[in-house]
C-alpha cells in the first residue's frame, strides 16, 4: 500500500503523476493544499483514493491501456469526458478518452483502475476473440450498475485492509466478478453482443465481416463486399448478424462509421483537426444530416454540434504544476502476506 500526504503543490503533483497518471494540476486562486493519496495494487486492478484539500482543476494525459471508474466519496465537482459533462456522478473512462475534472476542497474520490487486458480477456472469453479496438463504456454510471458500485466499494475496503495480500485466490475471484459485472451492468459498445443467448463465441464468419468493416469503413463497401470477405453468401451473413448480434450487416457498417465520425469530431473539438459537422458527416457517408444527428444523439447522448462546442469551464490563471522527473519520498505501508 502506498500512502502520501503533502502540502507542496509540485510534490503532490509529482507523486500523483508517477503513481496514478501524468496530468496538469491547477489550484484555484492558489489556495493552500492538503493533498492525500493512497494506492493499493491487486493483480490487474488498482484502487486509488485522492483528495487535494483545495479547489482544483485536473486534466490527465491520455491513458491508452486502462479503464478508470471514478466514485465521489465527498464534496462536489464536475467531470468532462471527451468534452461531455458527466457531472459529479460515478463515471467510467476508457482508453484514449480525454478527462477533465474540477473538484471542491472537501472532495475525496475513489478510483478503481482496470488494465485494458483484463477487459479484453473477459470479452474474448465470452465472445470468442479479442476486441479489435478498446471497448467504450457510457461515461456516466447507470442505475443498473449501482449494485456493482457496492461490490466495488467492498473490493476497495478489502484491498485497503490487506485481505487480498493474504488470499490471492480471493483477489482473483473478486477481480473477475468486478470485470464481468461492469461488462454486464454498464452499457458499452459490445453490450449488444453480450446480451442475447448463445453469445459465448462469435462465428468466424462474423469476425471476418466485422474486421473487414473496420479496415474498409472509409470506402464505399456494401453488404455484398462484406459477404465476400466473410466467405459466405449475403443471406447467410445477414442471418449470422441477426442471430448473434441482433442487427444487420448494413446497420453494423453504419455504426462503425458513426464511431469514426465521433472520433473526427473529438479531434476537431480538441484542435487536432479542422472541419464542421457537415463535412465530417459527408466524409463518412451520412448524406441526410438530420438522420445523422438523430443517430449520433442516440449513440452518444447529445447532438454532434455539442461535441464541437468548447468546454464551458476553461483553465483560468493559477498555479499550474509542471511535470517533473526527479525522485520523491513516498511512505509505503505493506500488509503482511
Each residue of 240-255: pLDDT tens digit?
A: 998 888 899 999 999 9
Q: What is the pLDDT of residue 323?
A: 36
Closest CA to 68 of 141, 132, 123: 141
Q: What is the pLDDT of residue 87?
A: 65
- What is the pLDDT confidence band of residue 196, given thresholds at 50, 70 and 90? low
Instruction: Say if CB 266 and CB 306 are below 8 A apart.
Output: no
Residue 293: count other Cβ atoms within 10 Å of its Cβ: 16
Q: How far apart are CA 256 and CA 295, in angstroms?
A: 12
Look at residue 306 and give its three-state secondary structure. Answer: helix
Q: Quick one: cell of 317? A: 490563471
Instruction: Say if CB 261 and CB 254 are below 8 A apart.
Output: no
CATH architecture entry for 202-308: Orthogonal Bundle (1.10)
Q: Is the pTM of this model over 0.85?
A: no
77 pairs with which residues across the strands?
A: 103
Average pLDDT over residues 83-93: 79
Q: How far apart are CA 105 and CA 168, in angstroms?
A: 36
Write out the residue limits of the CATH 2.60.120.10 domain(s) in the chain. Answer: 1-190
The tens digit of pLDDT for each residue in 152-172 reads: 999 999 888 888 887 787 788
81 pairs with which residues across the strands?
A: 84, 99
**Is 315's pLDDT higher than 50?**
no
Q: What is the mean pLDDT of the chain?
A: 84
- Low-confidence winner among 134-148, 174-188, 272-286 (lowest mean pLDDT): 134-148
The tens digit of pLDDT for each residue in 7-64 reads: 999 999 999 998 888 899 999 988 999 999 999 998 889 999 999 999 999 998 878 7
- Low-confidence winner among 169-173, 193-197, 257-261 (lowest mean pLDDT): 193-197
Look at residue 26 and give its three-state secondary structure. Answer: strand
Q: How far apart are CA 155 and CA 158, in angstroms?
A: 5
Write out the residue limits of the CATH 1.10.10.60 domain(s) in the chain. Answer: 202-308
Q: What is the CATH number of domain 1-190?
A: 2.60.120.10
Residue 124: count other Cβ atoms within 10 Å of its Cβ: 14
Q: What is the pLDDT of residue 278?
A: 93
Surface-to-core class of residue 173, CB atoms within 10 Å of its CB (0-12 exposed, 13-18 middle, 19+ buried): exposed
Instruction: Say if CB 275 and CB 237 are below 8 A apart.
Output: no
Q: How far apart are CA 235 and CA 246, in angstroms?
A: 15
**Is 201's pLDDT higher than 80?**
no
Closest CA to 277 of 301, 253, 306: 306
Amino acid at each position: 500500500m502506498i500512502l502520501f500526504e503533502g502540502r507542496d503543490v509540485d510534490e503532490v503533483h509529482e507523486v500523483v503523476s508517477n503513481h496514478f497518471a501524468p496530468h496538469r494540476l491547477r489550484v484555484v486562486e492558489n489556495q493552500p493544499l492538503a493533498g492525500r493519496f493512497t494506492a493499493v495494487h491487486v493483480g490487474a486492478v488498482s484502487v486509488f483514493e485522492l483528495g487535494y484539500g483545495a479547489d482544483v482543476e485536473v486534466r490527465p494525459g491520455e491513458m491508452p491501456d486502462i479503464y478508470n471508474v471514478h466514485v465521489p466519496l465527498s464534496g462536489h465537482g464536475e467531470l468532462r469526458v471527451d468534452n461531455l459533462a458527466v457531472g459529479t456522478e460515478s463515471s467510467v473512462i476508457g482508453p484514449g478518452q480525454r478527462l477533465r475534472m474540477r473538484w471542491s476542497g472537501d472532495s475525496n474520490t475513489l478510483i478503481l483502475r482496470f488494465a485494458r487486458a483484463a477487459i479484453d480477456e473477459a470479452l474474448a472469453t465470452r465472445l470468442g476473440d479479442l476486441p479489435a479496438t478498446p471497448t467504450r463504456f457510457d461515461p456516466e454510471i447507470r442505475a443498473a450498475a449501482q449494485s456493482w458500485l457496492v461490490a466495488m466499494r467492498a473490493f476497495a475496503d478489502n484491498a485497503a485492509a490487506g485481505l487480498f495480500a493474504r488470499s490471492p485466490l480471493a483477489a482473483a475471484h473478486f477481480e473477475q466478478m468486478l470485470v464481468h459485472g461492469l461488462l454486464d451492468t454498464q452499457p458499452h459498445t459490445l453490450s449488444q453482443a453480450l446480451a442475447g443467448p448463445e453469445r459465448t463465441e462469435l462465428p468466424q464468419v462474423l469476425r471476418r465481416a466485422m474486421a473487414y468493416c473496420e479496415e474498409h469503413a472509409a470506402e464505399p463497401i456494401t453488404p455484398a463486399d462484406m459477404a465476400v470477405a466473410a466467405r459466405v453468401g449475403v443471406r447467410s451473413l445477414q442471418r449470422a448478424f441477426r442471430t448473434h448480434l441482433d442487427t444487420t450487416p448494413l446497420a453494423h457498417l453504419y455504426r462503425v462509421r458513426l464511431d469514426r465520425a465521433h472520433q473526427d469530431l473529438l479531434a476537431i473539438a480538441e484542435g487536432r483537426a479542422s472541419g464542421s459537422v457537415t463535412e465530417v458527416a459527408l466524409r463518412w457517408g451520412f448524406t441526410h444530416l438530420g438522420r445523422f444527428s438523430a443517430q449520433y444523439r442516440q449513440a452518444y447522448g447529445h447532438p454532434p454540434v455539442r461535441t464541437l462546442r468548447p468546454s464551458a469551464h476553461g483553465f483560468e490563471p493559477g498555479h499550474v504544476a509542471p511535470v517533473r522527473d526527479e525522485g520523491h519520498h513516498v511512505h509505503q505501508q505493506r500488509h503482511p502476506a
